[in-house]
Amino acid sequence: MPDDPLSTTRTIEFWFDFGSNYSYLSTMRIEALADARNVRIVWRPFLLGPVFRQLGFDNSPFVLQKEKGAYVWKDMERQCRKYGLALTRPSTFPRAALLAMRVALAGAQEPWIGGYCRKIMQLNFAEDRDIGSPEVVGEALDTLGLPTQRIIDAALADANKLRLREQTESAINKGIFGAPTFFVGGEMFWGNDRLEDALDYCETLPARA
Q: What is the DSSP letter of 193?
A: G
The answer to whether residue 209 sits within a structural domain is: no
Task: Report how many domains make up the chain.
Answer: 1
The pLDDT score that the predictor gives to residue 8 is 54
The answer to whether residue 207 sits within a structural domain is: no
The pLDDT score that the predictor gives to residue 64 is 67
Beta strands per DSSP E along 17-147 = 39-45
The pLDDT score that the predictor gives to residue 54 is 86
Per-position pLDDT tens, the chain of length 209 = 334 333 457 999 999 999 999 999 999 999 999 999 999 999 999 999 999 888 887 767 766 678 887 899 999 999 999 999 999 999 999 999 999 999 999 999 999 999 999 999 999 999 999 999 999 999 999 999 999 999 999 999 999 999 999 999 999 999 999 999 999 999 999 999 999 999 999 988 887 65
Is the distance from CB of 88 to CB of 126 less than 8 angstroms? yes
The answer to whether residue 133 sits within a structural domain is: yes
Amino acid identity of 10?
R
37 vs 197: CA distance, rounded Å: 13
| 187-190 and 181-184 strand pairing | antiparallel
Question: Which residue range(s) make up the domain with 76?
Answer: 5-202
Cβ contacts of residue 136 below 8 Å, gap of 6+? Answer: 100, 123, 129, 130
The answer to whether residue 208 sits within a structural domain is: no
The answer to whether residue 76 sits within a structural domain is: yes
> Residue 51: left (phi > 0), alpha (psi -120 to 50), or beta?
alpha
The answer to whether residue 17 sits within a structural domain is: yes
CA 11 to chain centroid: 16
The answer to whether residue 40 sits within a structural domain is: yes
140 vs 35: CA distance, rounded Å: 23
The pLDDT score that the predictor gives to residue 141 is 98
Q: What is the CATH number of the domain that holds 150?
A: 3.40.30.10
**Closest among 185, 156, 150, 169 to 13, alpha carbons compared:** 185
